Structure 1
C-alpha cells in the first residue's frame, strides 16, 4: 500500500530525466546519421541505439524498482547492484559508438549515488562510470581519426568524475543531516510522549494526595464528631434521659448532612470557601464545635488583609485541625480562634486551647481522667487510650497540614500556649498563590 501511494511521486523526476536523455540520444544518433557523420555509418549507429535501448529496458524492468526502494529507505537487493553494472556497461558501449552519447552520465551519476547508499560504494561506482565513459570516448575518438584520443577522453572523464563526487558528497551530507534531524525529531516526539505520560501520572498522584488531605481535613473529622455524638446519645438513652438522647440524635442527623455536603464539595472542588468568606465559615465551625462538645469557643478577628481562595482554604484547614484537636485530644474547656494581620503582608491564624498541652501536662489542664462538660451539664469521659495533643506532632494531620501551609509560602507552629494548653499557628503571605495545591472545596 505504501509503495502504491508513493510510487508516482518517488519516480516522477527519474522518469522525466530518462525521457529527456532519451530525446537527446535520439537527436544525436539520428542527426549524426543524417548529416553523414562517418562514425555513425554502418553498424556503429545500431550499436549506440541498441546500447541506449537496452539501458532503458533495464531501467524499466529493475531500475525503477531499485530507485523506489531507495526512496522508501527499504533494504537493498542484488538487483540494485545489477542495474548499476548494466548502467556502466551500456554507457561504455554507447560512448564507444558515438562520443556525444556521454550525456548518459547526466543520469548515470545521480542513479549511482542514490542506489549505492554507502559513501565508499558510491565513490567506487562513480569511478567505474567515469572509466567507462573515458574508455568509450577514447575508442570512438580514435575511430574518428583523433591522433591522441586518450587525452580528451581522460580530461572529460576526470572532470565529470570530480563534479560527480563533489556534488554527491554535498548531497550525501545534506541527506545525512536530514536523517540526523529526523532521528532527533523522533527522539523528541518520544520524549514528549514520555513527559505527557509522566505528567499524567504526576497529576493522578497529586489528585490522590489532594483527596487524602481533604478526606482527613473534612470527612474524617466529621465522622469523628458523629462517633462522639452517637456515643453521647447512647449514654443518654441508657441513663433514661430521652430528651437529651433525642437532641443528640438530631445533632447526629445534622452532622451527617454536613458530611454529605463536605463530600460533594470535595468532588466538585470548584466553589469558594463559603458564603460570607473565611470569617463566616470560621464562626460556623466554632459554633458547631460549641454545640457538639459544650466547649467555650470564641472567635477574635482583626485582619482586613485580602486573601485569595487558596489562602482561605489553607487557613480554614488549619482552624479545622486545631478545633478537632481541642475536641478529640486536648481535653480542653475553652478554645480561641484568632485571625489577625501581620506586618509584611502576612496573616496569622491561631487556634489556642487550655487543654493538656503538647506535652500532656500543661499548667491548669485537667488530669487524664477529667471530663469535658456538654450543653446539658453531663460529663462525657474521654475514651481510654486517647492520644494527647503532643502525639499529633507525628500524625498525618499536622504533617499534611504543615506541607499544605508550606506550599502556600507560609509556616506552621504547634506548641504550648502561654499559661497552659496548646496553640496551632499558621502564618502565610497574603499575595502568594499555592504552588501545587489548588483545593478549594470546603464546607459551608
Structure 2
C-alpha cells in the first residue's frame, strides 16, 4: 500500500474511469455540470501529485495532512454538488487519508472530513430536500463506517507487523550479544584452562629443575662429585619430561591412555618427587581406580602432581602416602604427609590449592584439605561415580600431558 507506483496506477485508473463515464454519457449531466465534474477530477489528480504523492511512505507530515484534508473537502464538495456520481472519488480519498495520516486518530478524522464533504455536496447539488439529505446520509454513512472499520483493521495489521519487525531486530541484536558474550566467556575459560595446564605441568617441572639444580650446585661446592653427577642425571631426566610435557601441551595429547595406566602415571610422578624432595613416597591404586574414565584419571593425576609439588616445596616431609580408591559411587584420592603442615584458613598467595579446587569442581567433585602447623597435611579429593560404578557424565577436562 505504500508503494507509489501502485498509487499512481490506482489514481490514474480511477480518475480516468470516472472521466470516461461522464464523457460517454453514462451519467446524465448538462454541460456546466460536466465542466465542473471534469475540473474536480483534474483537481483531484493534481492534489494527488502535489500534496499526497510526495509523502507516501515518508514520515508523517502534519502540514501536508491538513492541506490534503482541505483539498479533498473542496474537491468532493464541488464535484459531488455538480453530480453525485463524483462521490465515487471516496474510494480513493479514504485510503489516502489513512496512509498519509499515519495514525488511527488522523485516519478517523480524515474519514469524517470526507464523509461530511460528500454529504455537503449531496445537499448542495440536490437541494435541502429530504431525498437529497437521505441519499447523502446513506452514502456517506455507509462509506464512513466501512472505510473506518477497514482502516482500523489494516492499521492493526500494520502495527502488528511493525511490532514483529522490532522484536526481530531486538532478537537479532540479543543473539549477536549472546554470541559475543559466549565468545568472550569461551576465551576466558580457555585462558584459565591453559593457565591451569601450564601450572600443573611446565611450572611444576621447572620448579623441580630449580630445586635439583640448587642441590647439584651445593653438592659440587661440597666436593661430592658422584652425588652431583647423580643429581644432574635427574635434572636431565626432569628436563626431558618437561620438554615432553611442552610438546604434548601444544599438541593437545591425552594425559592418560585408554588402557588402565593411572597407577603407572602416579608412580612416575612419585619417582620424580622422590628425587626432588628426598622423601619416601608410597603409592597405592586399586583396580576400581584404574577403571576410571580418562577425564577423571586426568583430574586425579593432576591433583597428585600438585599435592606432591607442594610437599616438595613446602612440607619438608619424610614420609608421604598416595592412595587412590574407588567404591560406593565415589573415587577417592588421599595424599598424606608428615611435614610441617599449615593453617588452611590463612590466605594463600600461590595458585596450587585453589587451582586444584577449581579442577575438581569442574569434574563435579570436592576437595578437602586437613592440616595444622606441625601436624602434617592430608589432601582428600572425591569424584562422584554412577550407581553402577561408572563415571557420571560431567564437565570434560582439557587435554593434558603425561607426567
**Shift of the alpha carbon at 1:227?**
0.9
Give 2:388's aligned residue. Answer: none
Report if the CA contact (8 A) 1:275-1:281 is conserved.
Answer: no
**Shift of the alpha carbon at 1:318?**
1.2
Give 2:147's aligned residue. Answer: 164
Is residue 325 of structure 2 the alignment partner of residue 403 of structure 1?
no
**Shift of the alpha carbon at 1:48?**
0.9
Give 1:348's aligned residue. Answer: 332
1:27-426 pair list within 5 angstroms: 27-32=20-25, 37=28, 40-69=29-58, 74-76=59-61, 78-142=63-127, 148-269=131-252, 271-274=254-257, 277-304=261-288, 306-343=291-328, 345-358=329-342, 395-415=350-370, 421-426=376-381
Is residue 10 of structure 2 the alignment partner of residue 17 of structure 1?
yes
Report if the CA contact (8 A) 2:19-2:41 is conserved.
Answer: no
**Shift of the alpha carbon at 1:102?**
1.2
Larger mean CA deviation between 320-329 and 169-178 belongs to 169-178
- 1-structure distance, mates of 2:118, 2:152: 21
**Shift of the alpha carbon at 1:390?**
8.9
Structure 2 unmatched runs, 5+? 386-390
- 1-structure distance, mates of 2:361, 2:273: 27
- 1-structure distance, mates of 2:295, 2:60: 61
Report if the CA contact (8 A) 1:308-1:433 is conserved.
Answer: no
TM (normalized to structure 1)? 0.79
**Shift of the alpha carbon at 1:272?**
4.1
- 2-structure distance, mates of 1:221, 1:390: 24
Deviations 1:33-80 (A, max 9, x none): 6x7x2xx221211211121122213323442221131xxxx3536345
**Shift of the alpha carbon at 1:416?**
5.2
Larger mean CA deviation between 147-156 and 303-312 belongs to 303-312
Select 1:440's aligned residue among 396, 399, 403. 399
Structure 1 unmatched runs, 5+? 1-7, 360-388
**Shift of the alpha carbon at 1:160?**
0.9
- 2-structure distance, mates of 1:329, 1:390: 17
Please give the secondary structure, in 1, of the residue aligned with 2:333. Answer: strand
Distance change >3 Å, CA 358–CA 275, structure 1 → 2: farther
Please give the secondary structure, in 2, of the residue aligned with 1:43. Answer: helix
Distance change >3 Å, CA 9–CA 335, structure 1 → 2: same
**Shift of the alpha carbon at 1:126?**
0.9
Please give the secondary structure, in 2, of the residue aligned with 1:148. Answer: helix
- 1-structure distance, mates of 2:12, 2:198: 78
**Shift of the alpha carbon at 1:357?**
4.0
Report if the CA contact (8 A) 1:102-1:133 is conserved.
Answer: yes
Report if the CA contact (8 A) 1:273-1:440 is conserved.
Answer: no
Please give the secondary structure, in 2, of the residue aligned with 1:227. Answer: helix
Report if the CA contact (8 A) 2:65-2:97 is conserved.
Answer: no
Please give the secondary structure, in 2, of the residue aligned with 1:442. Answer: coil
- 2-structure distance, mates of 1:223, 1:275: 28
Report if the CA contact (8 A) 2:256-2:262 is conserved.
Answer: yes
**Shift of the alpha carbon at 1:229?**
0.7
Please give the secondary structure, in 2, of the residue aligned with 1:432. Answer: coil
Distance change >3 Å, CA 79–CA 357, structure 1 → 2: closer
Matched residue count: 395
- 1-structure distance, mates of 2:185, 2:2: 45
Please give the secondary structure, in 2, of the residue aligned with 1:32. Answer: coil
Report if the CA contact (8 A) 2:299-2:397 is conserved.
Answer: no
Larger mean CA deviation between 201-210 and 232-241 belongs to 201-210
- 2-structure distance, mates of 1:225, 1:275: 28
